[in-house]
Structure 1
Amino acid sequence: MHLMMIAIALVLAWSIRLIPLNFQGTWGQRWQRSLFGFLVPPLILVTTALAIVFMGTEGSMLGFPAASGLSYGLAITFLLITLIYGNRLRDRALKTCRKIGKYPNQIIAGNSVKFLAIDLPYVAQIGFWEPQLVISQGLLDILDPEQLTAVLAHEQAHLQYRDTFWFFFLGWLRAVASWLPNTEELWQELLLLREIRADLKAAQTVDALVLAESLLLVAQAPGKSSFNFGATLYSSLNGDRLSQRIDALIGAAQLPNHNNLYCWSWLFPVFIPWLAIPFHS
């Protein structure tokens, strides 16, 4: 039965990822579809493995032999690989944070930032729950005070949504599920939607047109291919992110309310493997 659970989880995860991708619609619709397609398949595999490990190598289910050394070994192996990927990403992130911590502190537009004395325009939140804001001289050189305020409002939105924290875990699932179909396509879509969300949140406190103008200025700056306004402005998988972000700002797209149970009800399939535990004896 445990081997059957593994087989069902694999088929379900693969089938969900084979659902045709749809990158059309409102910001909220795209966000929900992309999160479902990205999150649910690997989480089903993880919860299935956890359920099998919890039930152990002995016992029966509904009168049939349930456990086997093979199923238990597969579950343990998958969870160990998952932990290895997570530890590797954590070490890489901590190394980056330590490196950023060595840069000098400055107060820019009332914000304490880590300052990079480079010509490349760069701004990003780097860290986990309480990230550090990093700004380069190159960014200060091309933006006037009003534009800089708009960019900082965008970065403040990332902080408010704890994007660095949550996308660390999404990146973990990306590594674990890299072998599933459409992993990279969904990841790139989520990166774009994360930036649109921060843009729309910032537009509640600053002029949306000024923020759009700042994006254009950065896109036209030398070395823009390495620029990090949260993410690069072009992706080969989902095209011109710049135009999509500007369209959302100019079109006054709205941020939907996701603080309700209905918006997260699509996570229910993730917990289905745990329903088998009471039937194991």
Structure 2
Amino acid sequence: MIFLVAGLIASALLLGCLAGPVLDRSQRSAAVPGIAIACWMAALAGTFIAGGGVVAIALLSPPGPGHGFLEWLRDCLPHHGDLAIIMAAAASLVLLTACGSRLARGLPRLVRAVRHRRRHWEMLRLVARQDGRHADVLVLDHPVPVAYSLPARRRAIVVSTGAQDALSPAEFGAVLAHERAHLRQRHHALLLMLDLAHALLPWPPTVRRARARLPLLLEMAADDAAARAWGRRPLVDALRRLAAAPGAAGALGATGGSGPAALVQRVRRLESAEPAKPRKVLRMTASVFVMAAVATPLAVVAMAIAELSTVC
């Protein structure tokens, strides 16, 4: 059991403290944002699985109050001294209090974000009109050029009349392709999960760096989808025309991605030479990392809990 717990702690430290800085320094992230996003999400998932496993084992290990629940009262506790039981109960109370406080902070934040998006959508249904040419677009009568998307079953993309007037047909098509990529790849859900992860566990470097890095990578991934459909030049011109538009809270806009500096980085990336396709070695390495980051902590947690079931 000691080796399994040590393995979980090592996994949490490696993924939570080392993986983030390594991924952040990677020179290939901007060239292959899809692969980088998968690696970041795997590192985050592995960090939480390993951390949660350590907490679960601490609560379930004898003579902790989680071990055996009702059966411990009959079989387990008599085998342990009073001092050990008191110390285990106190440590478990501390762990439960800490986890409860983080959940009490993170879950209401998630609920508020979802509620805000719902109110935003309901307001749009009142003030915006449907676009006859595009089944998934709502048009907002406003002179400022704006384009963004919200997670919704239908009419999830919002554009202003200012954007329709300012953009050429190719530029407008590139913007719509960008927003559709956000919706198709579930970027809104990833950002919600990232925000919840930071609220629950803000200290590990991987979580902090992911919160700073992932929004830009998501925008780059949507840029690539739009560029493949409409070309880079229309997308770059559209981004420049929309650069001064304010962002909508809870939405993903074409000029989003953590501020003006990120937009400049995206434009420079699109204006640079056409990136080469990721090499097979890079794809294989990323696949191995993603599988190992998630599967290893899961396997160790499963083995530890299975061993706990036989230990009293």
TM-score, normalized by the shorter chain, greater than 0.5: yes
Which stretch has the larger CA shift, 88-97 or 108-117? 108-117
1:104-119 alignment runs, 5 A limit: 104-107=128-131, 109-119=133-143
CA deviations 1:146-204 (Å, max 9, x no partner) are 21111101111112111112321122112222222253432232111111111222233
Residue 212 (structure 2) pairs with residue 209 (structure 1): no
Question: Matched residues in 2 for 1:72 and 1:190: separation?
Answer: 34
Correspondence for 2:187: 163
RMSD: 4.0
The CA deviation at 1:17 is 5.6
Which stretch has the larger CA shift, 113-122 or 165-174? 113-122
Question: Matched residues in 2 for 1:155 and 1:52: separation?
Answer: 44
Question: Matched residues in 1 for 2:184 and 2:89: separation?
Answer: 46
C-alpha contact 2:137 2:158 (8 A) present in aligned 1: yes
- The DSSP-based 3-state class of the residue aligned with 1:134 is strand
Change (3 A) 1:270 1:139: farther
Residue 130 (structure 2) pairs with residue 83 (structure 1): no
Correspondence for 2:147: 123
Correspondence for 1:274: 302
Question: Matched residues in 2 for 1:154 and 1:160: separation?
Answer: 10
Unaligned residue ranges in structure 1 (runs of 5+): none
The one-letter code of the counterpart of 1:90 is: V
Unaligned residue ranges in structure 2 (runs of 5+): none
Correspondence for 2:120: 99
CA deviations 1:87-120 (Å, max 9, x no partner) are 3222222222222222223216413333333343
Q: Which structure features the higher share of strand residues?
A: 1
The CA deviation at 1:264 is 2.9
Question: Matched residues in 1 for 2:152 and 2:52: separation?
Answer: 23
Change (3 A) 1:126 1:252: same
C-alpha contact 1:42 1:176 (8 A) present in aligned 2: no
Question: Matched residues in 2 for 1:143 and 1:124: separation?
Answer: 14
Among 78, 86, 92, the residue aligned to 1:72: 92
Q: Which structure features the higher share of helix residues?
A: 2
Among 229, 247, 251, the residue aligned to 2:274: 251
Question: Matched residues in 2 for 1:30 and 1:71: separation?
Answer: 38
Count of residue pairs the alignment pairs up: 273
Question: Matched residues in 1 for 2:131 and 2:40: separation?
Answer: 37
- The DSSP-based 3-state class of the residue aligned with 1:24 is coil
Higher relative contact order (CA 8 A, sep 6+): 2
Percent identity at matched positions?
19
Residue 254 (structure 2) pairs with residue 229 (structure 1): yes
Correspondence for 2:158: 134
The CA deviation at 1:210 is 1.5
C-alpha contact 2:148 2:158 (8 A) present in aligned 1: yes
Residue 148 (structure 2) pairs with residue 145 (structure 1): no
The one-letter code of the counterpart of 1:92 is: A
- TM-score, normalised by the number of residues in structure 1: 0.76
Residue 51 (structure 2) pairs with residue 45 (structure 1): yes
Change (3 A) 1:69 1:80: same
- The DSSP-based 3-state class of the residue aligned with 2:205 is coil
- The DSSP-based 3-state class of the residue aligned with 2:230 is coil
Correspondence for 1:16: 18
Residue 210 (structure 2) pairs with residue 186 (structure 1): yes
Larger Rg: 2
- TM-score, normalised by the number of residues in structure 2: 0.69
Question: Matched residues in 2 for 1:128 and 1:187: separation?
Answer: 24
